[in-house]
Amino acid sequence: MNSYDLIIRNGQIVTEDSVFKGDIGVKDGKITEVSTTALTEEASNEIDAAGLHVMPGVIDTHVHFNEPGRTEWEGLATGSRSLAAGGATSFFDMPLNSTPPVINKDSFDNKNELADKKAVVHPYLWGGLVPQNLADLKDLNDNGAIGFKAFMSPSGIDDFDNANDETLYKGMQKIASFGSILAVHAESTVICAQLQEEKLEAGHTSARDFVASRPIVSEMEAVRRIISYAEATNCKLHVVHASSKQVTDLINDAKKRGVDASVETCAHYLALTVEDLEEKGGVAKCMPPLRDQEEVDGLWKALANDEIDMIASDHSPAPADMKTITENYFEGWGGISGAQSTLNVLLTEGYHKRNFSLNKIVQVTASNPAKLFGLEGKGALEVDYDADIILVDLNESFELKEEDLFYRHQHSPYIGKTFKGNIKTTIVSGNTVYENGKILADK
């Protein structure tokens, strides 16, 4: 009988603290040995990782897979396959795009069952916080919701209302009572609505007009407000998709005051600017919108200073006809398809161009998400941890093409971009689900 189901040999093993050559032994879906000397035992399956870096799988805490109800936008099967191809082994799916949205026990159970059947990587579900479901929050938590998501401005989905101030405050009181966390889309409804109205009345509908209608100060106003509620209720707070260091500074100032807060940014805010929105059109439209290069550089500075807790994709896909923009940038779905490219962006823009360490990349894509959200046995390559492992060729370059994408709709602002750093293998609980451009999972 073999001591291991799988041995990964001769790889450069990356943790949040170090990089060292070694072997990893896997049994029954768990890491059972991490050794700097060659393992002498045999295994049912062996991978020679010479020349490759072995890293914990990415935990993408922010995706919109839409199923059930809007599966024609994206589904759990296609979305999770794209994640696997991008080196992710777990995801947190947002509650709003499903029909019905995930705002009570029944909708949670329905989606959870589908996710278990269809996803090829580990699924976790956010519950929603909307004005109508304050009484449902405890049930959602007890059924396994990873946390709760609220919009401080309109979500774009008719059956997922944004949370007014009273809903936010009362919801945070309840969420704090059972020790969960509230994630917020933080933009000011008043500021954005008024500026949009002014732009449209004046006939100003360009890419830069759209960006100007959702300014950084709108994010800052909402973040200041939600931090005050977090202080008053002692609720854990997570601010998603911050587009500027000015926003992350507010969260870090709150942390210094003792507020239990964290902040995420997304790969597209680290790699794209408003010029890409002008050039590429709807595939680069998101909310908050892309900013100028100065803001991109500011986020990288914040990342270098440990002022950003995690990087997610905010993969928010839609059919091509909903992403087509001709002249009016206020039209068209505001969401970027990027789940397959998060790690590629960080390796290309961070590791190769800006000399960011691999340890930092592991920290913001794996170890920090696992710690913040209490995922025991995930986010690290350690004994008794789940064998969620990726093998990466740091020096292999490739141009991203439409046919490379496993999304339901093969459009992305990264099409045509040359990345340096290619994910060769993705292993989930000891099983290889992606290898050399092909999905191997049988779901």
204-249 pLDDT per residue, tens: 999 999 999 999 999 999 999 999 999 999 999 999 999 999 999 9
Buried b (16+ CB within 10 A) or exposed e, 151-172: bbbbbbbeebbbbeeebbbbbb
- The pTM score is 0.97
DSSP helix/strand/coil, 33: strand
pLDDT tens for 241-264 read 999 999 999 999 999 999 999 999
Please say if the pLDDT value at position 1 is more than 80: no
* Cα–Cα dist 290/211, whole Å: 7
Q: What is the DSSP letter of 312?
A: E
Question: What DSSP letter does each residue of 342-405 carry, written as one string?
Answer: HHHHIIIIIIIHH---HHHHHIIIIIHHHHHTT-TT-SS--TTSB--EEEEEEEEEEE--GGG-
CA distance 35 to 21: 9
Specify whether the CB–CB gap between 124 and 151 falls below 8 A. no
Both tokens assigned to 91 = 């995801």
**Burial of 135: CB neighbours in 10 Å, binned 0-12, 13-18, 19+:** exposed
Domains of the chain from N-terminus onward: 4-54+387-396+419-437 (2.30.40.10), 57-372 (3.20.20.140)
Buried b (16+ CB within 10 A) or exposed e, 395-426: eeeeebeeebbbbbbebbbbbebebbbbbbbb
Per-residue pLDDT of 393-414, as tens digits, reads 999 999 999 999 999 999 999 9
Answer yes or no: is pLDDT of 443 > 70: no
- Cα(149)–Cα(130) distance, rounded to whole angstroms? 9
Q: Which residues pair with 88 in a beta bridge?
A: 58
Task: Give me the pLDDT at residue 326, please.
Answer: 83
Residue 74 near residue 407, CB atoms below 8 Å: yes
pLDDT, tens digit (0-9, with 9 covering 90-100), for 65-94? 999 988 999 999 999 999 999 999 999 999
Question: Which residue, among 311, 360, 312, 339, has the nearest Cα to 410 in the 3D structure?
Answer: 339
